[in-house]
Structure 1
Amino acid sequence: MNIWNMAIRIIFLSQTTTGLLGNLSLLFYYIVLYLREFTLKHTDLILLHLMVANVLIILSAGVPHTMAVWGLKQFLNGFGCELLLYIQGFSRSVSIGTTCLLSVFQAITINPRKTCLNHRKVKATKYIHCSLSFLWVFYMLVRFIFLMYTFMKMNRKNITRNWDFGYCSTVGRDEIIDILYATLVMFPEFFFAGLITCSSTSMIVILYRHKKRVQHIRSSHGFSRSSPESRATQNILVLVSAFLAFYTLSTIFRGCIALLYNHNWWLVYISRLTSLCFPCFGPFFLMRHYSILSIFSLV
């Protein structure tokens, strides 16, 4: 058991440290790029917001979980616990919504149909800033409703169940909050996941047709490298595919924990690790296109 506990500690520490370094590196890259050019491409702007959301997830979830597995238990009071859960909640939802926006925007941008999608492309680029701002404000307000309801519930004396997170504990949810959570959080997340699946499938089809179309041109002229747009689209496609895989696993484990009254702590550890996989390792799927060396060249 000591060996397994030490392995869990090392995995949590490595995952959190790697995730912070990766997200902060790309975040620093985009900030320096903006300071140099005073503007960002729409894709880079969406990725900037995604990195910010990922950093918040790691700081509010990864760091406390790491401290808990290393022996620092229940170091937060009720207010600190609810504040961390509030940050975890809206940053996770913003990360999902931003990934969906990135996937849909890229699918619309690379679509070769000129006649029917030109107007949509112009609208998509026009409302990127509004969409990103709406995601942040909407989910902050939604999670604030849950935060206020939880504080009201803490004053009641007939609390039958607490949620233990290792680093803190809070009151359990009831039927009212479950209905609100399913309506305002889970349903939009499933909707975003469906949009990501559709847009990713569309990108795969477009890239496949593009590859077939230009294959004879490359063979006749001796070109073997793909275009920068194609490589960027492939990187984003890998990113959203990884998101779908990790999000599905995290949802399954979270569902198992919610249904089981006396759940195993190993199941909790696996659920926490999978929920942190995309925020921690997502930036490294992009670093094939955005090299770390380019950060220092910008500086």
Structure 2
Amino acid sequence: MDLKLVILFLFPVVIGSLGNLSLLCHSVFLYCSGHRSRSIDVIVRHLTVANTLFLLSRGIPQIMAAFGKQDFLNNVGCKLVFYLQVTAKGVSVSTTCMLSVFQAITISPRSCGWAELKLKAAKHIGRSVIMFWVLHMLLNIRVPIIVSDKRNNTNIMNIIDFQYCSVMISSKEKTTTFVALTLSHDILCLKLMIWSSSSMIFILYRHKKRTQHIHHSSISSRASPETRASQSILILVCTFVSFYALSSLMYVWFSLYIKAAWWLVKTSALTNAGFPTVSPFILMTREQFVCESTRKK
């Protein structure tokens, strides 16, 4: 048993899962209590579900392996665990992107064009999030084929050993197609996040400039709850991009080298767990600001 690894993986799994479940329960409680459900709440619920699913499916096997139990999953279990990991991670990327875009639309100027766009965006959010789950379930249908338990990889040379399961490195043609599909989705989401974040920064800057000319202390001394909620979304996006950059470096290493080093496998697992662990606590600050705005109204 490696106690250091147990502690390292136990921390994000416990803290991150509790944070995501707390945020999810808070959102469901408000909905069941008769509070008016906001469109953005739907995105947050699915994001917390995806983050929790990823943390549990990635973290628990790593903890079990650190305890020395490396053969606790059979072939079906390995395929299911990895399929849940990649699907949940993809949905997390998509919903984070949607959250950023929708917040940018929400705080945009109330012109006729933007008002119509807000109504259309709010109307189709539920369908879009469900579509994300279906899309990533179909996109990652190849994953169970290349994953197996450790008992079935004795004659396979080109594998990545995760201690509890193994991933086979297939031909370059199949790998290139799969990587191209995944990267095209991720790059599109990153572009949308950069656009929406830039829009929010510009809108918030203009709002700050206008409020500087207002000398009433109750308005000028403190930013509005909507502004601070937007700032928390910006922090969330910056956090995502930072962890995604680190995760991409690990992914490139896996793609270039047949035999991945032990430290690389562990570091990759911790890096991928970073955003799902931190994001619920950033979103909790947003919930606080929005609730403050609701009470004032």
- TM-score normalised according to structure 1 size: 0.87
How many residues were matched structurally? 286
**Larger RCO: 1 or 2 (CA < 8 Å, sep 6+):** 1
TM superposition shift of 1:283: 0.5
Q: Quick check: 1:146–1:177 contact (8 Å CA) kept in 2?
A: no
Q: Which runs of 5+ in 1 are unaligned?
A: 295-299
- In the alignment, what sits opposite 1:258? 255
**Residues in 2 aligned to 1:241 and 1:265: alpha-carbon distance in whole angstroms:** 29
- In the alignment, what sits opposite 1:297? none
Q: Which runs of 5+ in 2 are unaligned?
A: 292-297
1:48 aligns with 2:51: no
TM superposition shift of 1:19: 0.5
Given candidates 214, 220, 224, the residue that maps to 2:216 is: 220
Matches within 5 A, 1:237-248: 237-248=234-245
Q: Quick check: 1:81–1:170 contact (8 Å CA) kept in 2?
A: no
Which sits farther off after the overlay, 201-210 or 162-171? 162-171
- In the alignment, what sits opposite 2:295? none
Closer, same or farther in 2 for the Cα pair 1:148/1:70, shift >3 Å? closer
The DSSP-based 3-state class of the residue aligned with 2:253 is: helix
Matches within 5 A, 1:118-267: 118-147=115-144, 159-217=156-214, 219-223=215-219, 224-267=221-264
Q: Quick check: 2:100–2:233 contact (8 Å CA) kept in 1?
A: yes
Residue type of the partner of 1:93?
Answer: G
- In the alignment, what sits opposite 2:294? none
TM superposition shift of 1:113: 5.4
TM superposition shift of 1:287: 2.1
1:31 aligns with 2:65: no
Given candidates 277, 282, 287, the residue that maps to 1:280 is: 277
TM superposition shift of 1:107: 0.8
Aligned-pair Cα RMSD in Å:
2.5
**Residues in 1 aligned to 2:281 and 2:154: alpha-carbon distance in whole angstroms:** 47
Identity %, equivalent residues: 42
The DSSP-based 3-state class of the residue aligned with 2:69 is: coil
**Residues in 1 aligned to 2:136 and 2:5: alpha-carbon distance in whole angstroms:** 32
Q: Quick check: 2:146–2:167 contact (8 Å CA) kept in 1?
A: no
- TM-score normalised according to structure 2 size: 0.88
**Residues in 2 aligned to 1:160 and 1:10: alpha-carbon distance in whole angstroms:** 31
TM superposition shift of 1:157: 11
**Residues in 2 aligned to 1:284 and 1:31: alpha-carbon distance in whole angstroms:** 17
